Chain A
């Protein structure tokens, strides 16, 4: 009997765990299937990580997964215009600074073109760097990060170390449906 009493909940637990696992597998399968039907790369909608909702039920804000398509697209643009991947993937040892410099110009010129064309970038703070600024009570902590001797209450006065960057507009090209964004640069064969 004793054995029965202890065994019963153990088997039930195992059963529940098994059922839960199967449910999870089905859930993931369903999501993957549904996802492949509507990749809709133009609308960069983050997928809700609903599969892991149970253990995180107590969190009020859920973490979102970034859409890899936009990242791959940006990588592709940087490679196309600035040879970004070629440059970063290469080993620098053994090359002179002049040679690195020549290649860096390509990356710089092209990278600048990409930033200019697809983003509107502006400084978060207009003040001069290294000048003293005061942050009022209720300042936006996502746009300004406090560092160093962070004690007391707002208003905070400190030195503006970096002005920050804000992308006020992102205008990435639209991607054709079914376009494989993972190919960030196609191989080239000259005939």
Chain B
């Protein structure tokens, strides 16, 4: 770290940079209380034109206002009278009526390899005159707002000086992590770490149990973390092992990136209500569907929580000042919610019931790759089967067809509904029953909405040596594709080999370099490589060359690019290089091209700009 450091951080700060909203939690590092009390930063933000309020959540939205839209002073914030960007509640509210100016889901775009993530294209498909931002710029703006809100509250302890942990989905690919870190580094954080969200949830659980966690799990346990947020579903497995008499936690596997969450459920209900109204001969305008979606979210929570409520009225007021006679009214019943949510998203499925494989290559069309199968439990079944051998190394050979979790930790607002949580438990326990295994127990004690931010803040103090640390390293092995030199056969793609450049489980701050495997790179010309990741090949070392792999074993990621500058060489010259990898302290993967003749090394870009 730099010499200005002196480790002046007073707080460990956790930032949950969510798809739909951000939360900032913090603990004092040298607190005299043990455990140090947690705080959630009240984030000052515009709630309506000219009105500023503090809320624990910052909705992850940006509104690109038209210059005639808002009066002077309507966007003033406590720290800036004329901010350039409108972020938060007011952005979401204005955007619900003018969607062409609303930037949303930037986080999902950040992990979408089919687009140039540095390009300014959000809001998507909006008219030309609307100013556009890139997913990374939007992420930067959310962080900037948090920084300003923090600095306004703590003028003596700037956020950039604190020990900051930002959470990312466990399923984020290296490029998406890199881009998140890039946005954060533009803010100027001096002590930054990235942490996987399901791990943050586990840290939050560890903290809430204090020392009693050792009584709740024992050696050989496999904890399954199911994190269903607003926009994504994130899965992880943590194995419990022993080392010199101490219990250790090891994150052994993470799931695929599944764009499926609570928002999909609210939309599903809204369309169901819409269909019901259509049967009554009432057609709804788009704004009414938005309003119904909001009402459905609230109604869903009541219906899934309170067993005595059998229906909740849904009302949509007119837009004009006349309300009577023009207010739409209908009902959402418990049966409807059970049918479309519980059975639609959480159906009773078998362990071999997996979602249909999505056809790749459909990324040319601009749009987010939402999960096609809404049944979250099918995705879960696929994950457990796929990771059948995840804990073999630590816990011994698993003879079954799927890895059997012994404890379940839930996270994310969706699972606050007891009926959904119960359904997930029931289905998992059915799988375990059929396989002759013991029932899994549910680990309780975390706040499903705030666990990620809190766990991230707690992680800051764990890194200072207080409390148990989850081991993990990178959750994938990474490969560079090498096209074999063989004569072209019409109608057949040239066979490709995969060279492992980063082995599974590489820890922060470590590096890997395989045996001599040289590439010829052309100076002054960008060279692209195909790039693959595997969450199941755990034993490949750096330098392993694969000729063959099982279908689905390697997942193709966006291409990577090496761009050798001309400096000191002839343009067009071919330079032999070797590829090496390291995992930075921040937690991002870094690939480097090292010339065999010992010259300066170059960074290989994980996020390739379009062109």
Tell me the complex Cα distance, A109–B317, Å.
Answer: 12
- Interface membership of A105, Cβ < 8 A: yes
Q: Is the CB of B73 within 8 A of A178?
A: yes
Q: Is the CB of A178 within 8 A of B47?
A: no
- Interface membership of B368, Cβ < 8 A: no
Q: Is the CB of A103 within 8 A of B327?
A: yes
Q: Which residues of B from 305 to 347 have beta carbons under 8 Å from A?
A: 313, 315, 317, 319, 321-325, 327-329
Q: Is the CB of A83 within 8 A of B323?
A: yes
Q: Which residues of A from 61 to 99 have beta carbons under 8 Å from B?
A: 73, 76, 80, 83, 85-87, 89-90, 92, 95, 98-99
Q: Which residues of A from 155 to 191 have beta carbons under 8 Å from B?
A: 171, 173-180, 186, 188
Residues of A within 8 A of B72 (CB): 178
Within the complex, the shortest CB–CB distance from B95 to chain A, in Å, comes to 14
- Interface membership of A100, Cβ < 8 A: yes
Q: Which of B54, B319, B322 contacts A90 (CB 8 A)?
A: B322
Within the complex, the shortest CB–CB distance from B330 to chain A, in Å, comes to 10
Q: Is the CB of A99 within 8 A of B53?
A: no
Which of chain B's residues has its CB closest to A96's CB? B325
- Interface membership of B76, Cβ < 8 A: yes
Q: Is the CB of A176 within 8 A of B327?
A: no
Q: Which of A100, A109, A171, A174 contacts B51 (CB 8 A)?
A: A174
- Interface membership of B74, Cβ < 8 A: yes
Report the contact-size class of chain B (Cβ under 8 Å from the partner). Answer: 20 to 34
Q: When A178-B72, A179-B73 are in contact, do A103 and B323 touch as well, CB less than 8 Å?
A: yes
Within the complex, the shortest CB–CB distance from A145 to chain B, in Å, comes to 34
Within the complex, the shortest CB–CB distance from B438 to chain A, in Å, comes to 44
Q: Which of B53, B97, B319, B324 contacts A103 (CB 8 A)?
A: B324
Q: Is the CB of A179 within 8 A of B324?
A: no
- Interface membership of B188, Cβ < 8 A: no
Q: Is the CB of A176 within 8 A of B323?
A: no
Q: Is the CB of B324 within 8 A of A174?
A: no
Q: C-beta contact mask, B68-100 vs A, less than 8 Å → 1, else 0?
A: 000111111010000000000000000001000
Q: C-beta contact mask, B452-494 vs A, less than 8 Å → 1, else 0?
A: 0000000000000000000000000000000000000000000
Q: Which of B97, B315, B317, B324 contacts A92 (CB 8 A)?
A: B324
Q: Is the interface of B mostly helix, strand, loop or mixed?
A: loop
- Interface membership of B185, Cβ < 8 A: no
Q: Which residues of A from 104 to 123 have beta carbons under 8 Å from B?
A: 105-106, 109
Residues of A within 8 A of B97 (CB): 188
Q: Is the CB of B51 within 8 A of A173?
A: yes
Within the complex, the shortest CB–CB distance from A161 to chain B, in Å, comes to 30
Q: Is the CB of B325 within 8 A of A179?
A: no
Q: Is the CB of B329 within 8 A of A175?
A: no
Q: When A175-B50, A176-B73 are in contact, do A90 and B324 touch as well, CB less than 8 Å?
A: yes
Q: When A83-B317, A106-B317 are in contact, do A174 and B327 touch as well, CB less than 8 Å?
A: no
Q: Is the CB of B321 within 8 A of A86?
A: yes
Residues of A within 8 A of B319 (CB): 188
Residues of B within 8 A of A176 (CB): 50-52, 73-76
Residues of B within 8 A of A174 (CB): 51-53, 78
- Interface membership of A52, Cβ < 8 A: no
- Interface membership of B48, Cβ < 8 A: yes
Q: C-beta contact mask, A35-50 vs B, less than 8 Å → 1, else 0?
A: 0000000000000000
Which of chain A's residues has its CB closest to B93's CB? A80
- Interface of A toward B, CB cutoff 8 Å: 73, 76, 80, 83, 85-87, 89-90, 92, 95, 98-100, 102-103, 105-106, 109, 171, 173-180, 186, 188
Top 8 closest A-B pairs, CB basis?
A179-B50, A173-B53, A102-B329, A176-B76, A176-B50, A173-B51, A178-B73, A103-B323
**Can you list 11 residue pairs at the A/B interface with Cβ under 8 Å?**
A73-B51, A85-B321, A103-B324, A105-B315, A106-B315, A171-B54, A173-B51, A174-B53, A176-B74, A176-B76, A178-B72
- Interface of B toward A, CB cutoff 8 Å: 47-54, 71-76, 78, 97, 313, 315, 317, 319, 321-325, 327-329
- Add 6 more A-B contacts to A98-B329, A106-B323, A173-B53 (CB < 8 A): A90-B322, A92-B324, A99-B327, A176-B52, A176-B75, A179-B49
